[in-house]
């Protein structure tokens, strides 16, 4: 028999019992759609996290003191003198609260002279950044600017931060950051950024919480990190952005593998269903198999006919499963985008009214800015993933159909007549 005859007999065999064939196809569709959707979302999450980390730049090195060690100006001077170092930025941080209509709200105070060193790309909703001099000026996150519904700190207003009991400080808002979601070094949404000298005075600190080192080129990064480790040993923890990227990649790959493995269980269940359905079809078609053998079909021909049926089930189920996965992924992505846009619109609407007196607060309608500051990502659907899903669906179906096909091919015409 030629290939066309085998496929035609397989097709006729499937449509002769449509309900059974449809159930087998649905079992494959569920598995393939689950795998396609999860692969798209895990790749999207991984890429989004990596883009956030990469925003710091490949020339960035992070230095954090070990327990009992301090980062002082002497440390900064030593690292600045190393070959290949372009700049060193000290960072101090602490906690405070702002009182909004009698409600205390926690904020993070971060002192640094160069915002781009810690944020990567500085996106301002309004205003500007502060100069690298000691002055009571602040760039605040979107949630700090709009801490509760109806309250807004505009550029030019004064914000009072309670540092400790009986100790507070007034800062002039010179800039408001756009909602930017995740950040590897700080939660910019709930942070107040001020000049380094001002932060050290306010927080009463004489050492830095961390240092951000910028290398002159990417090729100098590993050399600088090695030299710093040789000088300070275990006193400092030195982490490059590339190390962070490798760590994130490892974690997301493991997470992706776990999710895909869980989704693959449905494919396994589908394979068991195909095997059971194909076995039942063999017993239902004993007379037909006997006729095939009587007409001269060989054991190999019968085997290929039943294997082709399994392959067709896998192919149709795989194609439909991929389409269902694509539609489902697109729908969820669209719903997420609409939700994000709605939240952003609500946040923007709080910035468009008049302001009343009282510490620079604005009494406006709308939602809190916190509603728009969440981690966002876009699912990534690759051609490779689609082809792999289709191939897996067909292979799993063929494997599931091997035993039923072998069982059918072993029947002789006489055995078929007797059993019928």
pLDDT the model gives residue 340: 53
Same domain, 365 and 286: yes
Which residues are CB-contacts of 359 (< 8 A; sequence separation ≥ 6)?
Answer: 157, 158, 159, 160
Same domain, 381 and 328: yes
pLDDT at 185: 59
Q: Which band of pLDDT confidence, cut at 50, 70 and 90, is reported for residue 328?
A: confident
Q: Could you read off the pLDDT of 373-412 as tens digits, one per residue?
A: 445 667 777 787 788 888 888 888 888 888 777 877 776 7
Residue-wise burial string across 198-208, b where 16 or more C-beta atoms lie within 10 A, e elsewhere: bbbebbeeeeb
Beta strands 158-164 and 103-111: pairing type?
A: unpaired
Q: Are 259 and 405 part of one and the same domain?
A: yes
- Indicate whether 70 and 46 sit together in one domain: no
With contact defined as beta carbons under 8 Å apart, do 151 and 370 qualify? no
The total number of structural domains in the chain stands at 2
Q: Please report which confidence band the pLDDT of residue 372 belongs to, taking 50, 70 and 90 as the band edges.
A: very low
Are residues 262 and 168 part of one domain? no
**CA–CA distance, 39 with 52 (Å, rounded to integer):** 20
Give the pLDDT mean for 26-48: 80
Distance CA 141, CA 189 (A): 4
**Which is more confident, 95 or 56?**
95
Contact 176, 125 (CB under 8 A): yes
**Residues 145 and 206 placed together within one structural domain of the fold:** yes
Instruction: Tell whether 380 is covered by a domain.
Output: yes
Q: Say if residue 321 is in the same domain as residue 356.
A: yes
Mean pLDDT is lowest, of 37-41, 51-55, 129-133, 187-191, for 51-55
Regarding whether 177 and 82 lie in a shared domain, the answer is: yes
Name the band, by pLDDT with cuts 50, 70 and 90, for residue 413: low
Paired tokens of 80: 């600045």
CB 163 within 8 A of CB 105: no
Residue 420 has pLDDT above 70, yes or no: no
**398 and 265 part of one domain:** yes
* Tens of pLDDT, residues 60-71: 888 999 888 899
| pLDDT over 70 (residue 341) | no
- The pLDDT of 250-261, averaged and rounded, is 75
Calculate the alpha carbon distances from 115 to 57, 267, 352 in Å: 14, 49, 27
Between the alpha carbon of residue 183 and those of residues 3, 118, 132, 256, the distances in Å are: 58, 9, 22, 22
Domain range for 23: 3-51+248-419
Does 139 reside within a domain?
yes
Instruction: Tell me, yes or no, whether 238 lies in a domain.
Output: no
């Amino acid at each position: 028999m030629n290939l066309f005859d085998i496929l035609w007999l397989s097709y006729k065999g499937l449509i002769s019992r449509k309900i059974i064939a449809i159930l087998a196809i649905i079992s494959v569709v569920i598995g393939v759609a689950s795998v396609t959707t999860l692969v798209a979302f895990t790749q999207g999450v991984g890429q989004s996290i990596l883009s956030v980390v990469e925003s710091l730049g490949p020339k960035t090195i992070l230095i954090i003191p070990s327990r009992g060690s301090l980062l002082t100006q002497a440390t900064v001077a030593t690292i600045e003198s190393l070959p290949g170092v372009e700049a060193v930025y000290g960072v101090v941080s602490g906690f405070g609260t702002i009182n909004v209509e009698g409600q205390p709200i926690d904020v993070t105070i971060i002192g640094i002279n160069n915002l781009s060193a810690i944020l990567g790309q500085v996106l301002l909703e309004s205003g500007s950044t502060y100069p690298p001099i000691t002055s009571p000026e602040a760039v605040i996150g979107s949630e700090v600017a709009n801490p509760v519904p109806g309250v807004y700190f505009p550029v030019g207003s004064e914000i009072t931060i309670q540092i400790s009991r009986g100790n507070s400080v007034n800062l002039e808002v010179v800039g408001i950051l756009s909602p930017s979601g995740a950040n590897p070094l700080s939660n910019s949404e709930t942070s107040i950024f001020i000049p380094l000298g001002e932060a050290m005075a306010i927080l009463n600190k004489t050492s830095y919480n961390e240092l951000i080192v910028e290398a002159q080129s990417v090729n100098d990064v590993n050399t600088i990190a090695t030299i710093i480790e040789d000088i300070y040993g275990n006193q400092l923890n030195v982490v490059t952005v590339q190390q962070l990227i490798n760590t994130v990649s490892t974690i997301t790959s493991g997470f992706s593998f776990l999710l895909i493995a869980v989704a693959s269980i449905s494919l396994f269940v589908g394979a068991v269903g195909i095997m059971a359905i194909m076995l039942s079809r063999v017993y239902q078609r004993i007379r037909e198999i006997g006729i095939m053998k009587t007409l001269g079909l060989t054991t190999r021909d019968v085997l290929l006919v039943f294997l082709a049926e399994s392959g067709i089930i896998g192919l149709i189920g795989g194609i439909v499963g991929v389409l269902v996965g694509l539609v489902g992924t697109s729908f969820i992505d669209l719903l997420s985008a609409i939700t994000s846009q709605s939240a952003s619109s609500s946040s923007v609407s709080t910035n468009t009214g008049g302001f009343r007196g009282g510490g620079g607060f604005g009494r406006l309608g709308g939602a809190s800015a916190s509603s728009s500051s969440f981690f966002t990502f876009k699912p990534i659907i690759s051609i490779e993933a689609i082809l792999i899903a289709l191939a897996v669906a067909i292979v799993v179906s063929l494997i599931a159909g091997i035993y039923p096909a072998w069982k059918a091919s072993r029947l002789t015409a006489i055995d078929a007549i007797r059993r019928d």
